[in-house]
């Protein structure tokens, strides 16, 4: 299981945060498929494998590992984020084989479209930086597709430093964490 210290169980006054449990998997997958449909409607193929039922990112496995967090507005699932203390092959391919020990990897930030445009994405990232901490971890890392300038601007606007673009077309970002 994930080793962490929870400092705040809310991302904002309305949105409660909890660790996902196995029975949350269908709701999480529905949210991700909804996000993939929305991305497709905007002309993006990002996360399109989800539309054919391909979850090659293994959401169920991440839930079992305790790495997926839910953001709820009452009973409604408003968003999710995946916080990993151990890099997967994807991260190793993007960042290289060394230097992963002090990092937490943020992946699969997704917002229910009914909660879009309300600053929830910012609240989730800020919560991931300060509402939870991971012993020995000093840096948050993430990647996003280079062809989405709005998403890249979002992370830069939150203080993430651009660290380069992978040959596969993903921009790499990182930010020091205030807590250890």
Query: Looking at residue 1, what is its pLDDT?
Result: 60
Model confidence at 172, pLDDT cuts 50, 70, 90, reads very high
Q: Give the integer Cα–Cα distance in Å for 167 and 113.
A: 31
Q: What are 84-98's pLDDT values in tens digits? A: 999 999 999 999 999
Tell me what the mean pLDDT of segment 15-34 comes to: 97
Give domain limits for the chain: 5-142
Q: What is the mean pLDDT of the chain?
A: 94
Asked if pLDDT for residue 42 goes beyond 90, the answer is no
Please give the torsion angle defined by the CA atoms of residues 108, 109, 112 and 113, in that order, rounded to the nearest 10 degrees: -110
Beta bridge partners of 141: 105, 174
Residue 45: per-residue pLDDT: 79
Which CATH fold topology does 5-142 show? Aminopeptidase (3.40.630)
* pLDDT 10s digits, 98-157: 999 999 999 999 999 999 999 999 999 999 999 999 999 999 999 999 999 999 999 999
CA dist., res. 125 & res. 107, Å (int): 10
Left (φ > 0), alpha (ψ -120 to 50) or beta: where does 155 sit?
Answer: alpha
Distance of alpha carbon 46 from the chain centroid: 14
pLDDT score for 178:
82
Contact 56, 91 (CB under 8 A): no
Average pLDDT over residues 45-61: 86
pLDDT greater than 60 at residue 180: no
Residue pLDDT, tens place only, 95-106: 999 999 999 999
79: which residues sit within 8 A by CB, 6+ positions away? 15, 31, 70, 71, 109, 110, 111, 112, 115, 120, 121, 124
């Amino acid at each position: 299981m994930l080793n962490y210290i929870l400092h705040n169980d809310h991302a904002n006054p309305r949105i409660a945060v909890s660790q996902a449990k196995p029975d949350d998997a269908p709701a999480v997958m529905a949210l991700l498929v909804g996000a993939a449909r929305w991305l497709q409607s905007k002309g993006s193929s990002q996360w399109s494998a989800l539309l054919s039922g391909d979850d090659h990112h293994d959401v169920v496995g991440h839930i079992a590992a305790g790495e997926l967090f839910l953001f709820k507005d009452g009973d409604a699932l408003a968003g999710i984020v995946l916080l990993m203390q151990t890099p997967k092959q994807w991260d190793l391919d993007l960042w290289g084989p060394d230097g992963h020990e002090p990092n937490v990897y943020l992946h699969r930030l997704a917002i229910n479209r009914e909660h879009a445009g309300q600053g929830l994405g910012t609240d989730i990232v800020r919560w991931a930086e300060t509402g939870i901490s991971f012993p020995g971890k000093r840096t948050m890392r993430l990647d996003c597709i280079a062809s989405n300038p709005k998403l890249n601007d979002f992370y830069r606007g939150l203080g993430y430093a651009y660290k380069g673009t992978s040959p596969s077309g993903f921009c790499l970002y990182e930010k020091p964490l205030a807590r250890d």
